[in-house]
Structure formats: C-alpha cells, structure tokens
Amino acid sequence: MTLAASFLGGARDRLLPASIPFRFFVAATLFHILAWTMLLAGAGELPEFAGGPGLILAALHLLTIGVLVIAAMGASYQLLPVAARHPLSRSWPAKLSFWLITPGTAVLAIGMVDASTGMLYVGGAGVSIGLLIFAGLTADNLWRASAMPIVAAHGWAALAALLGFLGLGLSLLADFDVGFLADRQIIATMHMILAAFGFMGLLVFGFSHILIPMFVLSRTLPVRIGWLEFFLAACAVLMTIFGLLYGNYLLVIMAALIGLAASASYFWLMRCALATRMRKRLGLSFILIYISWIMLAFSLLTGLAVSMELPIPNGSTLFGFLAIVGWLLTFLMGILQRIIPFLASMHAAGKNNVPPLLSELTTEGPLKVHAACHFVALVSCSAGIILNTPILVTMGAGLGTIGALAFSVFVGHVVLKLNPSR
C-alpha cells in the first residue's frame, strides 16, 4: 500500500458513506427534470398563478422540496459534521429522512396535480417527518459547531424558519380538505417567505461563509459584517412575517429594504472572498453563482415594488420566480457542479487508491449546455410572466428541461466514477 493509500484510507473513515450524500444529489437531479417538465405542461397557467392546486403548484414543490431542500439535506449531512469537527454518530436517521422525503415529495406533487386530499396528507406527512429528522440531525451538528458561530447562527435561524413553513404548509394542506383558514392567500405568502428566504435563503447565506471561501481559496470573511448580514437577513424575514400577519404593509416595505441591506452586506462579504482568492480561474460554476446573486437583487427589488403596489404585471409571480428559480436554483446548480466532483474525488479510488483529479470527474459539455439553457429559460420565463405570454414560458420551460437533462448527464458521469463499494 502506498503512503497515499494508507493516508486516504484513514481519511475516508471520517466521511459518510458516499451513498448517503449522493442519493440526495441523484434524487434532486431527477426532481429537477420533473419540475421543469411539470412547468412545461402547465406553462399557460404560470403568468397569472396565484396559488391553488394544479400543475404549477406541483412544479413549485418539486423544485423547492425536491431539488432545493433535498440537495441541501445531502450537502448538510456531508459538510456540517466535517466543518463542525464532529462526525454524525449514526447514519440511519439520514437514510430514513431520505426514504421519507423523496417518495413524500413525489406523492405530494401528484396530490397537488389531482387535488387529492389523501395524497396530499400522505405526501405531506412523509415530507414533514423527513424534514423534522433533518432538523434534529442539523441541530445536533449546530450544537457542536462552536468553531463557526456565524454559520451556526444562520443554521439555527433557518431551522426556526423550517418549523414555521412546515406548520403553515400543513395547515394549507388541511385547508384543501376542510377549508378553515380565513385568509389562505396570506398564509400561503408567509409559507413561501419562510421557505424561500427564511429556510433556504439563510442556509445559502450561512453556507456561503464556508463554501465560497473554500471554492475560491480565500481568507475567512470579516466577522463583523458577517454578523451584520445575519442580523439584517433574520430581521427582514421576521418583519415580513409580522407585516403579513397583521396586514401592516409599511412593515413589509421596511422588511424589503432591510432585506436589500442584508443582501448588500452579503455581496460585500462575497466580494472580500473574491478579492483575496488564490484560485484565479473560477469556471462555469461561478458564472451561475454570479447570475444567482444578480437574481437575488432583482427578486428583492421586485418584492419591494410589489409591496409598494407599483404596477408590475404579475409582480407577485415574478417575485416568486426570481427568488426560487433565479436566485436559489441557479445558486444551487453552481454549487452542485463544484461540490459533486469534489465529494466524489474523496470517495472514488483509482487503481493506486489515489483520489482522481477533479478534472477527470467533471464533464464540461453537459454543464455548458445546462448553463446556457438555464440562463435562457430564466429570461424567457420572466419575460413570459411580465408580458403574460404563455408561449415564452413554454419555450423557457422547454429549455429548462433540456438543461436539467444535461445536468443529469453530468451527475450520472460522476456517479459512475464512484467506487461501487463505497
């Protein structure tokens, strides 16, 4: 056995089995294709979508739970224990959470298409229990993460938002059945804000403190601005929720402005990382990450305009699309194309038991197709929403589907390079 072999043998024992994070990444990849396909099928309904069962609601949840949440779960299970320097004591709860949330998401989406309360309850239960297991495991990691207090603060706030959007989501499901909510639209908006900005948004901000410096090889980020960003972001989410709850739209407008300030702090932090980076060529993944940051700013400006009742055609739908697809999905795709080969290289053993080069695991062609299709899909769907033109949404969703298929070729290529025994 070579020196590298004995060394890496010890290192690998500290990693979760590759099958755990990769099952989440593969599921997210498949849900990504399904989400765009569902949007394609319901393209005509998107511009004036205002909630309620149907193809768009199903596509939205395939994207949010199926892609964003499931990928975040896989990444968290692998990254947080390493960053917190405390390995997961048991791997079965992570596996159980996968086997609950993955079929749960599919059943929930079918229930949303058919407006079937039975399917909604079954799917909702699977998703909820899966998310609660994830919350428990993440809380256990965060409890031990004293070395990274800013990341942990984002994580705790994201978990609080998770409990909030889960509770609201379950009450919306029950409302389909028994119709007890006085103002379903407000509850749905609060559910969306907590899920997109509270849970996923704070996870994105928090993980960026570790992942972006790690990818670009930079110094750690300024602590004071990091705390400022966290405080502003958490305040913006809380104020939006209270503003919606009490019908105080001045509070919502102020929350949008604070959200913009939080984003400005976040962009400042990211600029610090990029300014001190060792890695000069950041590649295609960072083009997607840059686009996602622009989309974050656009989504918040759109949200501000909507809360000020400025005349933006289908402004609420555009706000949701820019936040969920423009910001969160684009960011995730940029991160996944870095993290998947990176994790695979630590698990994949070559003939000499030495990890393969990252370049051997990455396939540039499918990623270029995905990036081009994804960008045009963003522009086309956004234009379709503003202009109330379903054909533009159809074109965008078609390209999004092609892009998602191309991304699956990339993920499949990496998975096939993994040692089957891991």
Partner 1 sequence: MIDIPGKYWRASDGIHIDVRGLSAPEPMVSILRVIEAHEAENTIQVHHFCDPIYLYPELTERGWSCEIIPGEPDEVRLVLTRDK
> Which residues are near partner 1 by CB under 8 A?
2-4, 6-8, 10-12, 14-15, 82-83, 85, 147-148, 210, 213-214, 217-220, 278, 342, 345-346, 354-359
Half-sphere exposure of 343 (CA within 13 A, CB side): 29
When the beta carbons of 13 and 246 are compared against partner 1, the nearer one is 13
Among 72, 129, 65, which Cα is nearest to 99's? 129
When the beta carbons of 85 and 391 are compared against partner 1, the nearer one is 85
Minimal distance in Å, beta carbon 363 to partner 1? 17
Half-sphere exposure of 249 (CA within 13 A, CB side): 8
Minimal distance in Å, beta carbon 18 to partner 1? 13
Minimal distance in Å, beta carbon 149 to partner 1? 10
When the beta carbons of 85 and 271 are compared against partner 1, the nearer one is 85
Minimal distance in Å, beta carbon 83 to partner 1? 5
Minimal distance in Å, beta carbon 22 to partner 1? 16
When the beta carbons of 78 and 265 are compared against partner 1, the nearer one is 78
Minimal distance in Å, beta carbon 98 to partner 1? 22
When the beta carbons of 29 and 345 are compared against partner 1, the nearer one is 345
When the beta carbons of 83 and 251 are compared against partner 1, the nearer one is 83
